[in-house]
Structure 1
Amino acid sequence: MSNAEQTDTPEIPAGLTKPNEEETASQALQHDAANQGAKVGLTSDEIIIKGGKPLKGRIEVRGAKNLATKAMVATLLGKTPSVLRNVPNISDVRVVAGLLALHGVLITKGENADEWHFDPSNVEVAHKADIDAHAGSSRIPILFCGPLLHRLGEAFIPDLGGCRIGDRPIDFHLDALREFGAVVEKLPSGISLTAPNGLKGANIELPYPSVGATEQVLLTAVLAEGQTELRNAAIEPEIIDLICILQKMGAIISMEPNRVIFIEGVEELRGYDHKAIFDRNEAASWAAAALATKGDIFVGGVRQEEMMTFLNAFRKVGGDFDVHDDGIRFWHPGGDLKPVTIETDVHPGFMTDWQQPLVVALTQASGTSTIHETVYENRFGFTDALNTMGANIVVHQNGLHDESRRVKRREFEQAAVITGPTPLTAADVVVPDLRGGFSHLIAAMIAEGESKVSNIGIIARGYENFIEKLRLLGADFVFEA
């Protein structure tokens, strides 16, 4: 069995430590990548790819990173054990498993490797130092706050990490928790929270439909005394799947028009049995890889409904797809790819996580494409490596004015103008973040010559067994497993 296929029984990840404060940004990235890769069995930090070979074949996509990790946190709310199926073998899942284990949750595997069992009978306070060490680069600890305040009356959040794609303020989270009655104390080592009078329902309006803040409110409100009204909530499919999980546990949650969610607090919740929704981001990434490499990839486990916005853009660029009961086939039908203008937005708009891999395909389109990034303020850093390889991408740090736009302009937005087609040549590149890293893999696969892509452990945060999947699709690469 290859390293990419390992499915060991979950345990507290070993050897995770925070980068030394004196490390450079580059050293911190390498440190982080090594930790992430180690959690899922990657023993090497780099892959050498020979470009020019179309990716063809079938791969399977399992549960969404953005649902599975939150569903795992929800197990803290139940009085009885929970079962989560379709769990992806990614490092973010291992991080959350480690944090749950630190708090006394017993985690075991079911008959299938992607079935995990969680017993929260003995939840207890974890040491701050252990939380800090095992959180690694994940931002998931912030979502432990509501459940731990309900179970233990206290919670601790270490310094939050995650992909370096711009500021990730947690003010939305902390403001919401204060509305429920939490007392927040900022410490040099992180943030300490207590609930001396318990948590009570609140009327909350988010300044932006943040996915994380919406999850925070849901995980907190279900056991809070009274009713909570959440306005301007995120409504991504992963949010809906989390609501389904909470309802299975005994929660009372109503969704109203115009991004309004009502939650009636209950006295207790039970465990759940649930199959996680598929990972839309991974599916779109492989679709973009098929388009860029002039390949043909069947992505199993994917549904059309949650991918409709992406499928429209994929077709506009010139890609083709067939929808089947068990997945979607994506391929390049021949001919020239077409330029497009895309604006990222919250669901049901075009996801920010979809634009990065698609940008690589757009370097091969005939004409000028424009991507307006309205969700994160620094998500085009990955294009530097693409330009080094021969792409023609100009990033406008303050965005671009366009009268025809449908998404409201935001102060922090950026825009990228991609002019193509431009042949790409091999280069040594360093993975900067999760989605940008996968984009670099795609670029290396269409570039002439051999490229070395380093820090690939970061990609393991959200792409299950991606090395093995590249093998299944016939990619030409060398990886020292």
Structure 2
Amino acid sequence: MDRIAIEGGARLEGEISISGAKNSAIKLMAASLLTSEPLRLTNMPRLADTRFLGQLLGRLGTEVQEQDGPEGPETLLHTPEIISAIAPYDLVRQMRASFNVLGPLLARSGQAKVSLPGGCTIGARPVDLHLEALRALGAEIDLHEGYVYAQAPRGLRGAEIVFPFVSVGATEHAMLAAVLAEGETILRNAACEPEIVDLADCLNKMGARIVGAGLDVIRIQGVSRLNGTSHAVIPDRIETGTFAMAAAMAGGEVRLTRTRNDFIANLLDKMEEAGVDVVRHNDGVTIKRNGRRLYAVAVETDPYPGFATDLQAQFMALMTLADGESVIRETIFENRFMHAPELARLGADISIQGGEARVRGVPALNGAQVMATDLRASVGLVIAGLAAKGETVVGRVYHLDRGFERLEDKLSACGARIQRLKGDSTAEEAGFDA
């Protein structure tokens, strides 16, 4: 099992190009099931999650072709017909978001059998909202032996769906199903994330009629068919924020390009409050910190445009070296502080009570062997390792590969002393040069 070794203390200087958004790309890939014509996605990230979903889509009838286009990595998806409406456990369990093939399968073929999802262990994250939305659209749904059996033999029908709380996945899933439903669908208390807007933009290019994406009320007028199109995936705001905090943690000056700083406005405000120099550009942001001690800052995760839960672990790592005590409140997922004990192995002073973490800054962190528990926790440990004295080895980096493209390459190009240890390599085999 691969691990990542980091020799801390190296400043970061240079430029990092941000990849396409994972959380957008996988929903856009699922949209290819809605049309018999080709869908070309550009600015595509190359990740374990996109590979997993590509394998599942291939099982359902999608021809998936990865290629290098004039603007970088792209994926061509073509589903002339649905050859199977069954998404088996062995594929769906590998990535939670693959559950979102249920809606498109149901909308296009009138039936689907999809395994209940797996994914990171960061809370229950039930799919009840997804299923209730599909039921509201007229689907007949039964749960049996770990599978969802869904039918809509007379097609889906538009409906008014009021989400009891904001859910990105349920909002996206309802959109993917409602575009081919007869009549109008209204989604209330909808998620407002940039990925929602990106999905709506792509679906509208395919012939859908969606208005209000990015607001809490989305209206969808169903159409009888969708066509193919070409669409560029938006920049990954979580990768952008992650590298911004990596630069602040290690110190130095790093410019992040091919991204949008407005996607992480809340984070950048908090980083400036902590004493980090932030310079916003049309195509990204520059992060600077040259030896100055950080200040403790309180954050609370919230749906967009609030502080993203997917950046919480990274921010906790940053606060371990801040002057004073910072309070981090997690309001989205109940089990998302599992990285705290691993940060403590590096010397961090963190106490957890319920959904609140208190981080008391320490003068320095010290390298150690640590273990990733989920995708964002894994990169939070990498960030901490950049500043820790000595060597840090992060295990279970298969979590990391699900959501970060060429992380080691991008960091090492800016001066980080980081490398991947293949297979059963031990910490002593890292072999960093003096």
TM category, shorter:
over 0.9
Q: Per-residue deviation at 1:258?
A: 6.2
2:187 matched residue in structure 1? 230
1:123 aligned onto 2:82: yes
Give the one of 1, 5, 11 matched to 1:54.
11
Equivalent in 347, 366, 370 of residue 429 of structure 1: 370
The residue that corresponds to 2:138 in the other structure is 181
Contact residue 75 and residue 82 of structure 1 kept, 8 A = yes
Unmatched 5+ residue regions in structure 2? 423-434
Pairing partner for 1:450 from 391, 412, 416: 391
Deviations 1:260-290 (A, max 9, x none): 1111111111112111100000110111111
Contact 2:192 2:215 in 1 (8 A): no
SS of the equivalent of 1:115 reads strand
User: Which residue of structure 2 lines up, in the alignment, with residue 160 of structure 1?
Assistant: 117
Q: Please list the CA deviations of residues 311-345 of structure 1 after superposition, one character each: whole Å capped at 9, or x if unmatched.
A: 11111111112223332111214422111111110
Pair 476,146 (structure 1): closer, same or farther in 2 beyond 3 Å: same
- The answer to whether 1:376 aligns with 2:345 is no
Task: Name the residue aligned to 1:318.
Answer: 275
Taking the aligned partners of 2:270 and 2:259, their CA distance within structure 1 comes to 17
1:68-87 paired onto structure 2 within 5 Å? 68-87=25-44
Identity %: 39
Determine the C-alpha separation between the residues in 2 that align with 1:447 and 1:415: 24
Residues 1:257 and 1:298: Cα distance change in structure 2 (over 3 Å): closer
Partners of 2:47 and 2:169 in 1: how far apart? 19
1:325–1:217 Cα change, 3 Å? same
Shift of 1:136: 4.0
Instruction: From the superposition, tell whether residues 257 and 67 of structure 1 become closer, same or farther in structure 2 (CA, over 3 Å).
Output: closer
Task: Confirm whether residue 216 of structure 1 aligns to residue 154 of structure 2.
Answer: no
Deviates more, 1:253-262 or 1:313-322: 253-262
- 1:252 and 1:477 map into 2 onto residues whose CA distance is 47
Quote the residue 1:266 is aligned against: 223
Q: 1:395 to 1:209 in 2, by over 3 A?
A: same
User: How far is 1:111 from its partner?
Assistant: 4.1
Cα distance in 2 for residues equivalent to 1:477 and 1:77: 42
Contact residue 408 and residue 419 of structure 2 kept, 8 A:
no
- What runs of 5+ residues in structure 1 fail to find an aligned partner? 1-43, 398-413
Whole-angstrom distance in 2 between the partners of 1:127 and 1:263: 27
| Contact map agreement 2:11 2:251 (CA 8 A) in 1 | yes
Give 3-state SS (helix, strand or coil) of 2:15's partner: strand
Matched residue SS, 1:479: strand
Aligned counterpart for 2:233 among listed residues 269, 276, 288: 276
Whether 2:238 is the aligned partner of 1:286: answer no
Return the alpha-carbon distance in structure 1 between the equivalents of residues 271 and 369 of structure 2. 29
For 1:201 and 1:388, the matched residues in 2 are separated by: 53
Q: After superposition, what is the alpha-carbon deviation per residue over 1:77-117, rounded to whole angstroms, capped at 9, x for unaligned?
A: 12311110000011111111111111111122344251111
Residue 129 of structure 2 corresponds to which residue in structure 1?
Answer: 172
Tell me which amino acid in the other structure corresponds to 2:42. R
Matched, 1:467 2:426: no
Amino acid at match of 2:410: K
Q: CA separation in 1, counterparts of 2:154 and 2:256? A: 49
Which of 305, 318, 335 aligns to 1:361? It is 318
State how far apart, in whole Å, the 2-side matches of 1:194 and 1:80 are: 24
RMSD: 1.6
Amino acid at match of 1:118: L
Amino acid at match of 2:371: V
Give the alignment partner of residue 64 of structure 1, picking from 4, 13, 21: 21
Q: Distance in 2 between matches of 1:58 and 1:48?
A: 22
- Alpha-carbon spacing, 1:159–1:267, altered in 2? closer, same or farther (3 Å): closer
Conserved in 1, the CA contact under 8 Å of 2:56 and 2:92? yes
Within 5 A, what are the aligned runs for 1:366-405?
366-397=323-354
Please identify which structure carries the higher strand content.
Answer: 2
Amino acid at match of 2:197: I
The separation in 1 between residues aligned to 2:104 and 2:5, in whole angstroms, is 43
Per-residue deviation at 1:459? 0.3
Contact kept in structure 1, 2:16 and 2:257, CA below 8 Å: yes
| Aligned positions, number | 420
Q: What is the Cα deviation at residue 305 of structure 1?
A: 2.1
Amino acid at match of 1:446: A
Q: Which residue of 1 aligns with 2:432?
A: none
TM-score if structure 2 supplies the norm length?
A: 0.93
Map of 2:428 onto structure 1: none
The alignment status of 1:91 with 2:32, answered yes or no, reads no
TM normalised by structure 1 equals 0.84
Choose 213-222 or 461-470, whichever is displaced more.
461-470
Deviation at 1:126, TM superposition (A): 5.1
State how far apart, in whole Å, the 2-side matches of 1:393 and 1:140 are. 31
Amino acid at match of 2:381: H
User: Are residues 456 and 118 of structure 1, via their aligned partners in 2, closer, same or farther at CA, if it must alter by over 3 Å?
Assistant: same
**How far did residue 349 of structure 1 move?**
0.8
AA matched with 1:364:
L
- Note if contact 1:50-1:449 (Cα within 8 Å) is conserved in structure 2: yes
With 459-468 and 46-55 compared, the bigger mean Cα shift is at: 46-55
Which has the larger displacement, 380-389 or 469-478? Answer: 469-478
1:355 is paired with a residue whose SS is helix
Secondary structure in structure 1 of the residue aligned to 2:218: strand
Aligned partners of 1:124 and 1:152 also within 8 Å: no
**Secondary structure of 1:233's aligned partner:** coil
Task: Check if 1:348 corresponds to 2:305.
Answer: yes
**In 1, are the aligned partners of 2:327 and 2:358 still within 8 Å (CA)?**
yes
Residue identity matched to 1:259: D
Asked if structure 2 preserves the Cα contact closer than 8 Å seen for 1:287 and 1:331, the reply is no
2: CA distance between counterparts of 1:437 and 1:257?
29
CA contact (8 A) 2:68 2:74 kept: yes
Quick check: 1:147 aligned with 2:104? Answer: yes
**CA offset at residue 421 of structure 1?**
3.0
Q: Which stretch shifts more, 163-172 or 53-62?
A: 53-62
Does the residue aligned with 1:99 lie in a helix, a strand or coil? helix
CA distance in 2, matches of 1:82, 1:473: 35
Paired with 2:148 and 2:175, the residues of 1 have a C-alpha distance of 20
SS of corresponding position for 1:88: coil
1:244–1:127 CA distance, 2 compared to 1 (3 A): closer
Q: Residues 390 and 422 of structure 1 are in contact (CA less than 8 Å); yes or no, is this contact kept in structure 2?
A: no
